[in-house]
Structure 1
Amino acid sequence: MDRAQKREFVDQLAAVFAETSMIVITRNDGLTVADVTELRRRMRAAGAQYKVAKNRLAHLALEGTRFDGIAPLLKGPTALAWSRDPVAVAKTAVEFAKTNEKFVLVGGALGTQMLDASGVKALAELPSLDALRARLVGLIQAPATRIACVVQAPAGQLARVFAAFAKTGEAA
């Protein structure tokens, strides 16, 4: 890359750091092209991005951002993954690390909170944003269905009592 391309790459990466909420740093020593392609496909499906970046350029892009605390983690053959949904990127990276031993989680950052590899794994165990929304809607709907059942129950009981009286009246 020439200087103009490097400057453009640093600007793009700085823009990503400004708008994202979660960054995961990985070490990808010895991944094949097929492995990286599969990882990128999984990341895209989860709404995340995965990019191999030169450490020096990543350091320049990190300066002055809320993620500047992850700069010491950028040593060796590293790559960055990011997403607006913090659970999605962590979950995808952890799942891929389980199936490929050459892919190692180094750490990451959630906003200004720096995470080590175990912190990223703990974040991956949380339900996704969509799952949390579904649970919330379920909790909101549950009382309404319970109220409807309670309101209908006395009417159903009265109908059964009237039916029983009608049967005894017919028998007599």
Structure 2
Amino acid sequence: MVENPRPAKVAVVEEVRAKLVAHDVVFVTEYRGLKVADLQVLRSQLRTVGADYKVFKNTLVRIAAVEAGREALVELLTGPSGLVFSGTDAAATAKALREFSRTNESLVVKGALFDGQLLDQSAVFALANLPSREVLLAQLAGLIAAPMVSFASALNALPRDFAYGLKALVDQREAA
């Protein structure tokens, strides 16, 4: 590293390092050929899912990645790279990137660093096929609640069936 780096570069490295430490999922894209207006649309779409799109110099990102212990990310930093710092729902971020790249072929999703593991483009798009966090949580709640609902129904059926049996017995005795 340069012995006396400029303060602006030190600040950028620190910003990137902090973001890399704060986010478990970071997507890497190539934006070559995208117009500024397209990038603004992409940023807007990513903001709706809690993600943030930033463009930094690759050399500064490499330094920050090493400092943050995210060395695997360095492999994806070729050509003009934009970083997407995912919010809490990585699947929603992957979906937003996939949808945008379908309509804007200039955006190339290179891969992602997912909780320390490097994902290629196909793995990112597979992540995009997962249901959203809210849907997964609702499915989990349904799985947890199903046995309780069945148990409550069985408990409710016991006295009801007993009452039907008594009524049938009473009716049978009255008929005899």
TM-score after normalising by structure 2: 0.82
Letter of the 2:161 counterpart: Q
Aligned to 1:83: 86
| In 2, Cα distance between equivalents of 1:52 and 1:17 | 14
Give the superposition deviation at 1:159: 4.2
Is the CA contact 1:43–1:49 (under 8 Å) kept in the aligned structure 2? yes
Deviation per residue, 1:118-160 (Å, 9 max, x gap): 1111222223333322222211111111111112223333444
- In percent, how many aligned pairs have the same letter? 37
Give the superposition deviation at 1:12: 0.5
Aligned to 1:34: 37
Change (3 A) 1:161 1:62: same
Aligned to 2:62: 59
Q: Pick from 3, 21, 24: which aligns with 2:24? A: 21
| In 1, Cα distance between equivalents of 2:10 and 2:67 | 16
Letter of the 1:43 counterpart: L
Change (3 A) 1:38 1:170: farther
Change (3 A) 1:164 1:31: same
Is the CA contact 1:67–1:111 (under 8 Å) kept in the aligned structure 2? no
Aligned to 2:139: 135
Structure 1 residues 13-22 or 77-86, which shifts more? 77-86
Structure 1 residues 138-147 or 150-159, which shifts more? 150-159
Aligned to 1:155: 159
Alignment of 1:86-101 (within 5 A): 86-101=90-105
Letter of the 1:54 counterpart: K
Is the CA contact 2:49–2:87 (under 8 Å) kept in the aligned structure 1? no
| In 1, Cα distance between equivalents of 2:116 and 2:38 | 31
Gaps of 5+ in 2: none
TM-score after normalising by structure 1: 0.84
Structure 1 residues 153-162 or 112-121, which shifts more? 153-162
Letter of the 1:108 counterpart: A
**Within the alignment, does 1:146 sit opposite 2:163 as a pair?**
no
Give the superposition deviation at 1:6: 2.1
Alignment of 1:102-117 (within 5 A): 102-117=106-121
Deviation per residue, 1:4-36 (Å, 9 max, x gap): 222211111110111110111101122122321
SS in 1 for 2:67: coil
Provide the alpha-carbon RMSD of the alignment. Answer: 2.5
Gaps of 5+ in 1: none
SS in 2 for 1:63: helix
